[in-house]
Amino acid sequence: MPKAILLAPATQAPAALAPEIAASRTDSELQLLMQAIYLRYNHDFRDYSQASQMRRVLHALVQLDCPSIPDLQSRVLHDPALFQRLLQYLTIPVSEMFRDPGFFLALRQQVVPHLHTYASLKIWIAGCSTGEEAYSLAILLREEGLLERSQIYATDINPASLAKARQGIFPMKSIKGHSANYQ
């Protein structure tokens, strides 16, 4: 007589674990994508917040019409133009004139007096995004009489953000907020 096979427990256990297994696999796929980007393009997102990366990559999958992270990885590794598009989703283009008013006040009151003692200044703003902080710093330096002897370097890994920063054109609707930050 054949043995009875009990399928219910065997089919229920994997179903109960499926979300955890899927999450683990997706986390691994995300890590592999970030490693591949680092090895191919030398942009290192490997230590960024995984939750933030996951949100951005999942959004990019929809926008770039990719069915999965491994598909995106394959396409990105073979198509530098697609990587440039993905970069728009991986980077955080957040910038605002005088974005952190407390910082600019402290800079003016505590740092600028020391800067007056230098013949020239070289200032680097890494991750300048669309440039509002760089322009804010230039305004502050001009008001303090330091801009003429200063060089400001503003860099970002996102070429689209840098292009916008180079233009120096910002929406009028933002002026009210910028003015409040400045004051």
pLDDT digits (tens, 9 = 90+) for 167-176: 998 888 888 8
Would you state the pLDDT for residue 11? 37
Instruction: Output the pTM of the full model.
Output: 0.67
Over residues 123-156, the pLDDT tens digits come to 999 989 999 999 999 999 999 999 999 999 999 9
Greatest alpha-carbon pair distance for the chain in Å reads 97
Quick one: CA torsion of 61, 63, 65, 67, rounded to 10 degrees? 20
For residues 14 and 35, the model is more confident at: 35
Q: What is the mean pLDDT of the chain?
A: 86
* pLDDT for residue 59 is more than 60: yes
Handedness of CA 18, 57, 99, 149 (dihedral sign): positive
- Using a CB cutoff of 8 Å and minimum separation of 24, what contacts does 23-28 make? 26/54, 26/69, 27/54
CA dist 105 and 182 (Å) reads 9
The CA–CA distances, whole Å, from 129 to 15, 18, 92, 135 equal 44, 39, 8, 12
Residue 93 zone, left/alpha/beta (φ > 0; ψ -120 to 50; rest): beta
Model confidence at 22, in pLDDT bands (50, 70, 90)? low
CA dist 43 and 37 (Å) reads 6
For residue 133, the number of C-alpha atoms closer than 13 Å in the C-beta half-sphere is 22
CA dist 81 and 147 (Å) reads 37
